[in-house]
Amino acid sequence: MVDDPAATPRKPRRKGGRPSRAEASAKALLGVDVAACDPVSVLREILADRSMPGSTRVSAAKVLLALPEGSESRTVAEDTVAARAIRLMAAARRGH
Note the pLDDT of residue 51: 92
Alpha helices (H) along the chain: 21-28, 39-48, 54-65, 72-95
Check residue 72 and give its pLDDT: 61
Region 26-44: what's the mean pLDDT? 79
| b/e code 39-58 from CB counts within 10 Å (16+ = b) | ebeebbebbeeeeeeeeebe
Predicted structure pTM score: 0.43
**Model pLDDT for residues 18-33, shown as the tens digit of each residue:** 888 888 888 887 887 7
For 51-60, write each residue's pLDDT tens digit.
989 998 898 8
